[in-house]
Structure 1
């Protein structure tokens, strides 16, 4: 992954390029809204799988979700570099597994605008409890440990069968 002029260029490996049906991915630097490293590769996956290859431990291709289209090229054995992008990009998110993502994250972080909005799917960090943290009253009765009475006999109420025929010796 490199920055060439006003574009972020993601070069895919041979297997990833075959699965994604493209060798490179070019994104405008001006569309970058957030960049981060995700240690759990599966957390960058969102939405429904679209075009691509989706195998256990290796996902390459496009995904479609409420936030738009995402492009992923992630492997289970490597952390993923995640870039959230604005409307100037064909993708809302691009996530790529790289062996050492921290230097790339630092290099791309300088292109993130200071007034960039946090991505939609990340929970807001708050200090202290919020009004919605309190238990809400309900009209439902409290659950009890007692089973509800039924008219059906239970397993202990059944009489033992004594009319079974004796086993015969079949030869």
Structure 2
């Protein structure tokens, strides 16, 4: 299964050989400066948002690859029954969220603490993930009147 590492100034998600084949990429990397918030989600399905776009999805068994939503793309590597470390990223990053399953809640909390320490621009104002932005009603009304 995918693993998350800090390598120098980057956060890297390394994939197993079969995961690389499924998502057609060797690894996913973002600068630590792009890390916005780090949380650990006890329920794997709560880390999923948007619709499956690329990779491998077996309902109730595995979700691996990219998911698209109104705010951009997420990269996920999750399995049922495992906690998930969720790394929200600033808009300048290629993804909005990295979600990777970990072996235990303690392992996830240890990684989250480490990321909060080494990432320079981490927002610690709330321990919860932020919801996806909802388009304002005024934008919807303006689009509907045209």
TM-score normalised by the shorter chain: which range applies? Answer: 0.7 to 0.9
Partner residue in 2 for 1:59: 63
Alignment check: 8 A CA contact 1:33 1:117 kept: no
Offset at residue 77 of structure 1 (A): 2.9
Does residue 4 (structure 1) correspond to residue 12 (structure 2)? The answer is no
Offset at residue 103 of structure 1 (A): 1.1
Partner residue in 2 for 1:76: 80
Does residue 22 (structure 1) correspond to residue 36 (structure 2)? The answer is no
Distance 1:14 1:30, change over 3 A: same
Q: Give the root-mean-square deviation of aligned CA atoms.
A: 1.9
> Which structure has greater strand proportion?
2
**2:89 is matched with which residue: 85, 88, 98?**
85
Cα distance in 2, alignment partners of residues 41 and 88 from structure 1:
26
Cα distance in 1, alignment partners of residues 58 and 109 from structure 2:
26
Instruction: Tell me which stretches of 4 or more aligned residues in structure 1 moved more than 3 Å.
Output: 114-120
Tell me the TM-score normalized by structure 1: 0.65
Q: CA-to-partner distance for each residue in 1:45-68, whole Å, 9 max, x for gaps? A: 101110111102200010110121
The more displaced of 34-43 and 111-120 is 111-120
Greater C-alpha radius of gyration: 1
Cα distance in 1, alignment partners of residues 108 and 35 from structure 2:
16
Q: Aligned pairs, how many?
A: 122
Alignment check: 8 A CA contact 2:37 2:122 kept: no
Does residue 121 (structure 1) correspond to residue 135 (structure 2)? The answer is no
Q: CA-to-partner distance for each residue in 1:85-112, whole Å, 9 max, x for gaps? A: 0122100001011112121111001215
Cα distance in 1, alignment partners of residues 44 and 28 from structure 2:
19
> Which structure has greater helix proportion?
2
The SS at the match of 1:42 is: helix
Cα distance in 2, alignment partners of residues 5 and 95 from structure 1:
20
